[in-house]
Structure 1
Amino acid sequence: MPSKSSARLAALTVAAVCAASTITLTSPAHARSVRIHDIQGDTRMSPYAGQQVTDVAGIVTGVRTYGSSRGFWIQDPEPDADPATSEGVFVHTGSTPQGVAVGDAVKVSGTVSEYVPGGTSSGNQALTEITRPAFTVVSGGNPVPAATGIDAGSVPAAYTPAGDPAANGSVNALPLRPDRYALDFYESLEGMNVQVSDTRVVGATDPYTELWVTVKPGENRNHRGGTVYGSYGAQNTGRLQIQSLGRAADFPDANVGDTLAGATTGPLDFNQYGGYTLVARELGTLESGNLRRESTRAQRSGELAVATYNVENLDPSDGTFAAHAEAIVGNLKSPDIVSLEEIQDNNGATDDGTVAADRTVAALIDAIVAAGGPRYDWRGIDPADKADGGEPGGNIRQVFLFDPERVSFTDRAGGDATTATGVTKVRGRAALTVSPGRVAPGSEAFEGSRKPLAGEFVFRGRTVVVVANHFASKGGDQSLTSQYQPPSRVSETQRHLQAKEVHDFTARILAVQKNAAVVVLGDINDFEFSTTTKILEGRGTLWSAVKSLPRSERYSYVYQGNSQVLDQILISPSIRRGGAFTYDSVHLNAEFHDQISDHDPQVLRFRP
């Protein structure tokens, strides 16, 4: 924190202008002298939005000097009796605030605005601010208003009320009920000085120096310390994002299962990337939970091991090849078949028409050999340039690695970026018309998205068809903290179409050969309980094998403190009926701050 000089103890007036995008609910009126709780009101939208206010009194509880939203928080030390009305508010100065420090008593004049992080199209809630402020420092060195504790006893079990149908499902105008709903509780503290104590980390530190904790240690906990997201109705109310007002270099490198011991104290903010966020003036001490990366067991001689692994935009310029190789060899025990998602072309994000990925794959195979693994062979199909989404210029695609000492690949010529593989009968058994081949590459379901890659493998004389997928991302979906409840998940539309195409392709295989062994796997970008998965499964065509795990172990990805399933391996009835399969979600990335990918690989072992 900046030190106070004696000159700053005198009255000081500073004016600043900001250009934040806002929602204006009323026309500006003559300036009014009001209290902070009057400005905040008892709903999510200020009754003074768009109006001028004058001499709003408060004590400075935090100063933010970085990022695109600079300013300071003030809190009224004399609260009203209404638990729904917050006593704190953010003063948005635009540029780095000058002449103000924590503990200053100030009077602020400006315009009350409702700023929507991410813009109104995001569906996010609004943050009440005072913008274009002029402020006067009345005195310095005042005690900061006592922090309001946030803990398991104070946060309600219910997450949010349903939105108002007359307002397209928005909760903005609904009276806050902080004793009943978690989002209402957090909103009633917006801008106030709050505190959490001895909280468990449920989302590792990310590159933006933020992490996630839970104030409800028993809420859907798994044995590694995370909080599992198991249904749309179990959003996990105890999750809270933590940022810091201190130096980025001082922010702790935390993993899931660690503890932020002691008190973490500061203003409660709202942003587009995490919703309600405690911006710490005082940060707890990190205590390690000693989380270790998992390893699966090796497949037995009669077992076929099939894995899916999203390697996060891998290209020859990356420095992660050795780490990925060690993960495949050491943690996954060199599966017989590995479906890789997010393999980029030979020059990565350089957008020059390059689509081949042979250098990328060769570098990974060489690294696997150096790590003591087999020299995998591989198959893939180059996409048409800029046709499959992902990082611009990267041309990501799925690729099969396979151990030729254990598995053979059945090559059937003719596969390319636009030719669809079909199903035929060869000697009484189902076969692909091209292998490797793409599933329905011309379908609108895969427009601008990764096309599934199908291939025939033979293990101990038995053919196994594997279909590698990377479905459309969740980009564009409204957040769990959206003003619209329940939030819209617009990205599902394309995934549902993709799931239908892959289901129908699998159904054609099973129509030709009822007992065919089919494995559909990859980054499905949706949950095991989602409609996407239900469409994939159909009426017994496939079954997501992650559901063979206990509910607390079903996750491959951690997002905003929720451990959740995005990567799946689905199996045909002959594999499931045999019962001799094992499934493992191998947790070696998603829970760690030094992850080499944001996804955990999945491994299925079975006897074809």
Structure 2
Amino acid sequence: MSSARLAALTVAAVCTAASTVVLTSPAHADSLRIHDIQGDTRISPYAGRQVSEVTGIVTGVRTYGSSRGFWIQDASPDSDPATSEGVFVFTGSTPQDVAVGDAVSVSGTVTEYVPGGTSSGNQSLTQISRPAVTVLSSGNPVPAATPVTAGSVPAAYAPTAEGSINDLRLRPARYALDLYESLEGMNVQVSDTRVVGATDPYTELWVTVKPWEHRNARGGTVYGSYDSQNTGRLQIQSLGRAADFPDANVGDTLSGTTEGPLDYNQFGGYTLVAGKLGTLAPGDLRRETTRAQHGSELAIATYNVENLDPSDDTFAAHAAAIVDNLRSPDIVSLEEIQDNNGATDDGTVAADRTLALLIDAIEAAGGPRYDWRSVDPADKADGGQPGGNIRQAFLFNPERVSFTDRPGGDATTPTDVVKVRGKAALTLSPGRVDPASEAFADSRKPLAGEFAFRGRTVIVVANHFASKGGDQGLTSQYQPPARSSETQRHLQAQAVHDFTAKVLKAQKNAHVVALGDINDFEFSRTTDILQGRGTLWSAIKSLPKSERYSYVYQGNSQVLDQILITPSIRRFSYDSVHINAEFHDQISDHDPQILRFRP
């Protein structure tokens, strides 16, 4: 959208976390067809204007949530593939006396509703608001659903405008986002689609209409580049009861036809809201188990346990994952360990009870009696769930490794590197890396610890970088989308790189492992900064590209968790152990990573 046009917009209403954008042109009534209202760009040429007697057949009714209303579609389409024949009628409350198959006449105001608000960068949804509805007849056939298939969805994702694409004429044969926009509000269908994003707590899942698009062996769709989007992904919701929605895992199939209006929402972009849902055909995906380390191998894992606190009922499941699926690593870096009363915001920062419960559960599951080290954060200083005071912590098996304690580490005192008898050593162990730096403001500070294994020193730096919250979505009106959260992660990556470089300056062949929830991809600038010019290397790159993922977001299997190593660690094995991200009954949204090597 041009700056002049943006200046002409005003925010007319805010509903929950979203905005309705209305043009300031004078209001008057026009009798129009739906395709006239939709137009051939993303913004209706009639936005802000009153329209009268817009006719269509009701294709779906939404009676739940904050965006209640119904969809109508013109049964007599025009010949322009860029103009949608469907539109959402926003009633605000549960629609009364309207049913699928009704022929209706609608008068109201054309508005452009931006899910998430205008600051989100999301596209807008053309709708008719404050409607007056007249039912003309009932029991009419619903307009035939438009198939969305591998052949109909273009390979190119979106036009690159270096700004808003709102004013660009839609080219549905060239760009996937333009195709979906040209179908906004229309009745569409997909058939026999593979699930690439498991059912989540919000009763939604993701499928792909392109079964071989960056497919991995477990049925997911791998996200491997900013320039290679997975265009076949589509979110599925349902107009039916939540209890009837399938519990799907990645690799399952929605067999048969899934059909309903194509919506656009804040958290998934284009979404098929199904009035008819396909039948779930299980793909029988199994949780992975890594191999056990050999006696001479040091096994180090990273595992984000998602806001673990004593009130959770997942301790036994996490323990089983560590003992059975990870085969009891020698060292486990844990992210998102909360304080002893979780989200209760009363100044508590200690997490000894949280860690004790996990250690007890691991022992009960047949694992070793782990010891632990961590540094309590200052209250409300490290971000995360309010009151939770999340932090990283080390578990280690004292029968296999020893921890080198050097006291003095606290929330604000940085650890440093010194040279002792020709070897690098930490001044504080455990200690935090550069905790006063602006890089870690309102974010988790890296935790460094010095371990000994078979007489060799290994320095481990546990990280949990700033999240991607605030970044524009892949379906943003701005292409390419802005990734504003990268700024802080780049600073964090530089700080961890520089700390590692200091270790290597003190001891060229030092074994350093920097790991954790990096919250960024292996191909990202964040990872490039961490690696520097040979200071560190992300070991997940040792895997085939189709196996590089630890997280599934919007149907994209992608890397967020990484283990990076210094050059002296030459021979190693790496495994991304898929036990959570692909499953609807996950105990964390992250898959753990494990590295094995001989120091």
Give 3-state SS (helix, strand or coil) of 2:189's partner: strand
Q: Deviations over 1:431-487 (max 9, x none)?
A: 001000000000000000000000000000000000000000000000000000000
Partner of 2:203: 209
Q: How far apart, CA to CA, are the structure 2 residues paired with 1:427 and 1:238? A: 58
Q: Deviations over 1:92-111 (max 9, x none)?
A: 00000000000000000000
Partner of 1:171: 165
Matched, 1:598 2:589: yes
Greater shift, 19-28 or 447-456, is seen at 19-28
1:29 is displaced (CA, Å) by: 2.1
| Counterpart pick for 1:79 among 71, 77, 85 | 77
Partner of 1:586: 577
Indicate if the aligned counterparts of 1:22 and 1:116 stay in contact, CA closer than 8 A.
Answer: yes
Runs of 4+ in structure 1 deviating by more than 4 angstroms, as ranges, are: 17-20
Give 3-state SS (helix, strand or coil) of 2:179's partner: helix
Q: How far apart, CA to CA, are the structure 1 residues paired with 2:120 and 2:516? A: 28
Give 3-state SS (helix, strand or coil) of 1:363's partner: helix
Matched, 1:257 2:255: no
Partner of 2:121: 123
Matched, 1:558 2:556: no
Give 3-state SS (helix, strand or coil) of 1:323's partner: helix
Amino acid at match of 1:80: D
Q: Deviations over 1:266-286 (max 9, x none)?
A: 000000100000000000000
Partner of 1:284: 278
1:413 is displaced (CA, Å) by: 1.0
Amino acid at match of 2:313: G
Q: How far apart, CA to CA, are the structure 1 residues paired with 2:487 and 2:229? A: 22
What pairs with 1:174-253 in structure 2 (closer than 5 Å)? Answer: 174-253=168-247
1:86 is displaced (CA, Å) by: 0.1
Equivalenced residue count is 585
Flag structure 1 segments of 5+ consecutive residues without an equivalent.
Answer: 1-16
TM-score w.r.t. the length of structure 2 is 0.97
Q: How far apart, CA to CA, are the structure 2 residues paired with 1:70 and 1:82? A: 29
Q: How far apart, CA to CA, are the structure 2 residues paired with 1:63 and 1:358? A: 51
Q: How far apart, CA to CA, are the structure 1 residues paired with 2:192 and 2:420? A: 63
1:427 is displaced (CA, Å) by: 1.0
Give 3-state SS (helix, strand or coil) of 2:479's partner: coil
Indicate if the aligned counterparts of 1:18 and 1:94 stay in contact, CA closer than 8 A.
Answer: no
What pairs with 1:57-68 in structure 2 (closer than 5 Å)? Answer: 57-68=55-66
Give 3-state SS (helix, strand or coil) of 1:515's partner: coil
Matched, 1:31 2:29: yes
Matched, 1:375 2:369: yes
**Structural RMSD (CA):** 0.9
Indicate if the aligned counterparts of 1:28 and 1:52 stay in contact, CA closer than 8 A.
Answer: no
Matched, 1:522 2:516: yes
Partner of 1:147: 145
What pairs with 1:140-539 in structure 2 (closer than 5 Å)? Answer: 140-163=138-161, 165=162, 169-539=163-533
Q: How far apart, CA to CA, are the structure 1 residues paired with 2:382 and 2:496? A: 17
Q: How far apart, CA to CA, are the structure 2 residues paired with 1:339 and 1:505? A: 18
Q: How far apart, CA to CA, are the structure 2 residues paired with 1:156 and 1:18? A: 34
Q: How far apart, CA to CA, are the structure 2 residues paired with 1:75 and 1:523? A: 45
Indicate if the aligned counterparts of 2:14 and 2:20 stay in contact, CA closer than 8 A.
Answer: no
Flag structure 2 segments of 5+ consecutive residues without an equivalent.
Answer: 1-12
Partner of 2:5: none
Indicate if the aligned counterparts of 1:192 and 1:268 stay in contact, CA closer than 8 A.
Answer: yes
Q: How far apart, CA to CA, are the structure 2 residues paired with 1:282 and 1:234? A: 31
1:235 is displaced (CA, Å) by: 1.6
1:18 is displaced (CA, Å) by: 10
Partner of 2:3: none
1:234 is displaced (CA, Å) by: 1.4
Amino acid at match of 1:119: G
Amino acid at match of 1:39: I
Q: How far apart, CA to CA, are the structure 1 residues paired with 2:218 and 2:28? A: 56
Q: How far apart, CA to CA, are the structure 2 residues paired with 1:385 and 1:150? A: 50
Q: Deviations over 1:488-533 (max 9, x none)?
A: 0000000000000000000000001000000000000000000000
Indicate if the aligned counterparts of 2:258 and 2:278 stay in contact, CA closer than 8 A.
Answer: yes
Partner of 2:8: none
Indicate if the aligned counterparts of 1:18 and 1:93 stay in contact, CA closer than 8 A.
Answer: no
Indicate if the aligned counterparts of 1:307 and 1:339 stay in contact, CA closer than 8 A.
Answer: yes
TM-score w.r.t. the length of structure 1 is 0.96
Q: How far apart, CA to CA, are the structure 1 residues paired with 2:282 and 2:79? A: 41
Indicate if the aligned counterparts of 1:125 and 1:482 stay in contact, CA closer than 8 A.
Answer: yes
